[in-house]
Structure 1
Amino acid sequence: MVSRRSALLMGGTAGVAMAGGGAWLGKVVAQPAAAPAAESGIGGLTTPPLYAPSGRRPKYRRASWSQQFQSGHGWTPGGAGTASAEANDKSVFVRGTQSVRVTTNGTGKQSYIRKTGMPAMSLTGKMIRLVFRVEDVTNLAKLVFYLGSGSLANHFAWTHHVHSKTSANYVQSGEWVTVHLQWADVNAAAGTYSIGTGGKPSTKTGFTDMSFAVYDNAGGPVTCRLQAVELIPDTVSVFPKGVVSITFDDSHKSIHDLARPVMDRFGFPGTVYNIADAIGTGSFLTLGQMRSMQDFSGWEMGGHSYANAVHTASYPKLTAEQADDDFRKLREWLVSNGFTSEHFAYPHGAFQKTSDGVPVDQIASRHFTTARSIISETIESFAPAMPYRLKALTGINDGTGIGGTALSKLTGAGGKLDRCVNNGDWLILCLHKVVDGAPKTSTEIGTAGLETLMKAIDDRDIPVLTVEEAMASYT
């Protein structure tokens, strides 16, 4: 079977040992404990990479409407969960000369920054951009954005961050974070508003009220600063049905033997994030298979780690110097073997700070153009809000009682694929191993399940692009 679009596509710790006995490449200057990154590069890593990113990143999207919270902004901080607030906070900001601050009271109740009664606006063809900062995420529970009318009696809600105690979080302590909210991500409606079949909102116009809400976990206070709420163009004008990228982690041989034949029938390419020193061993891909997939089926060969031991440990268990050297060695291996992808996925989705306190995503930016996580609170967008924290849906499987993400949540009515095609976004899927029979773990998907997934994408006529192709569409 050939897709109707196939013609378009064809034309740990510091002591972690390196698998295979490999030595760390390059000499990296360690950061003095008190030296700020701005003075000595990222974490003191001053030796330039042999292969630095090309800089092919999307242009910054200009806002058609912007509230930057400067003097006279007219928004009100408050809520039953608020201990203190400052509408004109001149102590910490990233634009202009001030931001808005709220500090919760540790009761788990809502603290907000809001404005009602604004001139009615339309969000047709637009998404919302938020810029904010949480000083300490220890007691953070969730962040919600409300958009509505009638003093928010009618509203849509986006729960755009639920904080995890165990996994990597999109929102980190003391960092300015950018989030894009698309119509595909709306998860609640009230009053006269509703979310229909396929995730379609009942209206995209007439909005007069906005509210940025913070909830602590009732274990202590949380301080949050809001710098901007903006409207920017969404992706519908370029990809009216959105885009799907099908990515595979860990270089399993089954990607070539079982996934590729299924995807070839639909003309769909994939992105493989590879562990370099696993290639050609055991049940992993060979160089020949990687080159065949790239050269004859249009697949992308990205990076996951150089050393298998680093993949097992994950980068936050290493020092900044060790992490940087593994990134460098991985990029050199990819280029020297004919794989020019500048895209990367974090092992276990982990991009927190290294053992000596340097954010892993900042180190990744020295070597790659994007880095993918396994966070899926909201679906990714064009351009990505934070290219080194790309969001992806993982654990997709057609098994029973093994956890992960049930395939039906994508393919069923109103699922992720319907939301993608109806609202236009970038749905990145993260798969691992493919098996002939029934999957036994959440990191496996059966060939039957993969066939079902590919057919569901094809039936909806959603474009399938590699990560590299998707990013190139907006550079």
Structure 2
Amino acid sequence: MAGGALLGDTTGSDAHASIGGLATPPYAPTGRRPQYRRAVWSQQFQPGHGWTAAGAGTASTDLSDTREFTRGRQSVRVTTTGGGKQSYVRRTGMTALNLSGKMIRLIFRVENTTHLSRLAFYVGTGSFGNYFVWQFHTHSAAATNYIQQGEWVTVHLQWADVTSAAGAYSITPAGAPSTKSGFTDMSFAVYDTGGGPATYRLQAVELIPDTSSVFPRGVVSVTFDDSHRSVHDLARPVMDRHGFPATSYNIADAIGAGDSLTIGRMRSLQDHSGWEMAGHAYATSAHTASYGKLSAQQVDDDFRRLREWLVSNGFTSENFAYPHGAFGRTTDGVPVDLIARRHFTTARSIISETTESFAPAMPYRLKALTGITDGNGIDGTALARLTSPGGRLDRCAANGDWLILCLHRIVAGAPRSSTEISQSGLAALMKAISDRDIPVATVTEVMEHYT
């Protein structure tokens, strides 16, 4: 909000810019989603908040900025020096906080993201003589970023994603912190690239119940993109063995052609194995191009045709996965995720710098770990990163989170690319999940849980 401007105002870089002129969707989402997690502790940076802004990377500050805010009547504004040094907003000596069963919710905004390098958050004691740190965002010049320029974003930080510790604090090989209570210090840290200044605004630092309050051992959603026939022929037998369902994100144009699923196989997966048939794109050409290379009208048309196709074929999922995980802006400047919410209840990316949470911080930017493969000498996410001691599955089970896995093609032999995993590798992954007693649920099942 800029000076109290209403949502829909097209001035500036408001993420809620108007998308007028697009026809009303014939199948609008029902909007069924988990209740908003109310904070058990909250700092909203209104008058008298007591936090300070400093650091070698700080050029100027306004601790009571009334020009840009999204809660109350003000936020904290900081502009960096452009020298690549740490800039921060912090407070020490607070009443001790217990973060057991809690996650941290941050609401903030960054301008000049071309100059943004990374973001971190610290909790500690003794003026940060002891601390844990989450390095939760590294900005990319090429890939889609969770942090979009000039937009208020929400980030959840869970114990499963804590990066490192210092002083008297430590993290076990399985990823468990030495303590989760007694914290008196907090710091929101920003680093620019060294190529110019960035301005950031901090609106809220809050504690809310974490995923473990609903899923004590976390929860895994197994998703498959692109409608490959191998999902039915090779993945299904492996998952049926454990009674695990999956979410298949489908390209309507590809169904029944070449090496793709057919309508019959999709219905069999849905009706007899409990799978979810979700959307990935209507036109193969739109998927290939990626929505960021299309106009808002073209993106909206593809969404509309996809929902119509899903519903007309008996697939009621309201979940979507962005082609190539990209949700930036259309060629005429409209945020793709803003269009997505006209047609679907969630939209999944392939961002994995932190793990998704329940309820998700931003349902139209769901995070997922992709490129999972047991191939040798190829790019991607090594299967061992999930299954080895202290890997993503151990952290999921020990700390609780919503781990969304993005897979593509299943092969009988050795994988040759990061979009392939062998049937035996998939079997090892499913067994590892089962052995840890982590529940597996479709995206719809998770989103409908505790609504």
- SS for the counterpart of 1:119 is coil
For the pair 1:231 / 2:231, whether they are aligned, the reply is no
Distance 1:86 1:237 in 2: 37
- Give the superposition deviation at 1:305: 0.2
Residue from 89, 96, 106 that aligns with 1:130: 106
- Counterpart for residue 144 of structure 2: 168
- Give the superposition deviation at 1:197: 2.8
- Give the superposition deviation at 1:474: 3.3
For the pair 1:429 / 2:429, whether they are aligned, the reply is no
- SS for the counterpart of 2:330 is coil
For the pair 1:92 / 2:91, whether they are aligned, the reply is no
- Counterpart for residue 445 of structure 2: 469
1:303 aligned partner, one-letter code: G
- Give the superposition deviation at 1:106: 1.0
- SS for the counterpart of 1:248 is strand
Distance 1:331 1:460 in 2: 36
- Counterpart for residue 238 of structure 2: 262
Residue from 267, 286, 308 that aligns with 1:332: 308
- Give the superposition deviation at 1:139: 0.7
1:248–1:270: 8 Å Cα contact kept in structure 2?
yes
Equivalent positions of 1:344-363 (< 5 A) are 344-363=320-339
Distance 1:215 1:45 in 2: 39
1:250–1:432: 8 Å Cα contact kept in structure 2?
yes
2:66–2:75: 8 Å Cα contact kept in structure 1?
yes
Distance 2:113 2:423 in 1: 41
The superposition leaves residues 110-132 of structure 1 with CA deviations (integer Å, 9 ceiling, x where unpaired) of 00000000011100111000000
Residue from 50, 53, 57 that aligns with 1:81: 57
For the pair 1:177 / 2:149, whether they are aligned, the reply is no
1:293 aligned partner, one-letter code: L
1:42–1:363: 8 Å Cα contact kept in structure 2?
no
Distance 1:45 1:277 in 2: 26
2:303–2:340: 8 Å Cα contact kept in structure 1?
yes
- Give the superposition deviation at 1:42: 4.3
Distance 2:188 2:388 in 1: 31
- SS for the counterpart of 2:117 is strand
Distance 1:436 1:69 in 2: 56
Using structure 2 for the length normalisation, give the TM-score: 0.96
In 2 relative to 1, CA 34–212 (structure 1 residues): closer, same or farther, beyond 3 Å?
A: closer
- Give the superposition deviation at 1:280: 0.2
1:315–1:347: 8 Å Cα contact kept in structure 2?
yes
1:437 aligned partner, one-letter code: G
- SS for the counterpart of 2:212 is coil
The superposition leaves residues 420-448 of structure 1 with CA deviations (integer Å, 9 ceiling, x where unpaired) of 00001100000000000110000000011
Deviation >2 Å, runs of 4+: 33-38
Residue from 293, 296, 303 that aligns with 1:320: 296
Distance 2:306 2:17 in 1: 21
The superposition leaves residues 353-396 of structure 1 with CA deviations (integer Å, 9 ceiling, x where unpaired) of 00000000000000000000000010000100000000000000
| Structure 1 portions without partners, runs of 5+ | 1-32
Distance 1:353 1:34 in 2: 14
- Give the superposition deviation at 1:101: 1.1
- Counterpart for residue 177 of structure 2: 201
- Give the superposition deviation at 1:148: 0.5
- SS for the counterpart of 1:171 is coil
1:434–1:444: 8 Å Cα contact kept in structure 2?
yes
1:380–1:426: 8 Å Cα contact kept in structure 2?
yes
Provide the identity percentage. 71
- Give the superposition deviation at 1:235: 2.0
- Counterpart for residue 91 of structure 2: 115
Equivalent positions of 1:366-385 (< 5 A) are 366-385=342-361
For the pair 1:443 / 2:419, whether they are aligned, the reply is yes
Distance 2:344 2:12 in 1: 23
For the pair 1:393 / 2:376, whether they are aligned, the reply is no
1:251–1:285: 8 Å Cα contact kept in structure 2?
yes
For the pair 1:415 / 2:391, whether they are aligned, the reply is yes
- Counterpart for residue 5 of structure 1: none
The superposition leaves residues 266-311 of structure 1 with CA deviations (integer Å, 9 ceiling, x where unpaired) of 1100000000010000000000000000000000000000000000
Distance 1:441 1:171 in 2: 28
Using structure 1 for the length normalisation, give the TM-score: 0.91
For the pair 1:402 / 2:378, whether they are aligned, the reply is yes
Distance 1:237 1:70 in 2: 29
2:10–2:17: 8 Å Cα contact kept in structure 1?
no
1:194 aligned partner, one-letter code: S
RMSD, matched Cα: 1.4
Distance 1:373 1:284 in 2: 22
Distance 1:37 1:140 in 2: 17
Distance 1:36 1:287 in 2: 45
Distance 2:407 2:446 in 1: 18
2:175 aligned partner, one-letter code: G
Q: Which deviates the most, 95-104 or 389-398?
A: 95-104
1:383–1:474: 8 Å Cα contact kept in structure 2?
no
- SS for the counterpart of 1:58 is coil
- Give the superposition deviation at 1:37: 11
2:308 aligned partner, one-letter code: E
In 2 relative to 1, CA 41–211 (structure 1 residues): closer, same or farther, beyond 3 Å?
A: closer
Residue from 48, 68, 78 that aligns with 2:24: 48
Distance 1:36 1:328 in 2: 28
Distance 1:218 1:96 in 2: 33
1:37–1:43: 8 Å Cα contact kept in structure 2?
no
Matched residue count: 442
- Give the superposition deviation at 1:46: 3.9
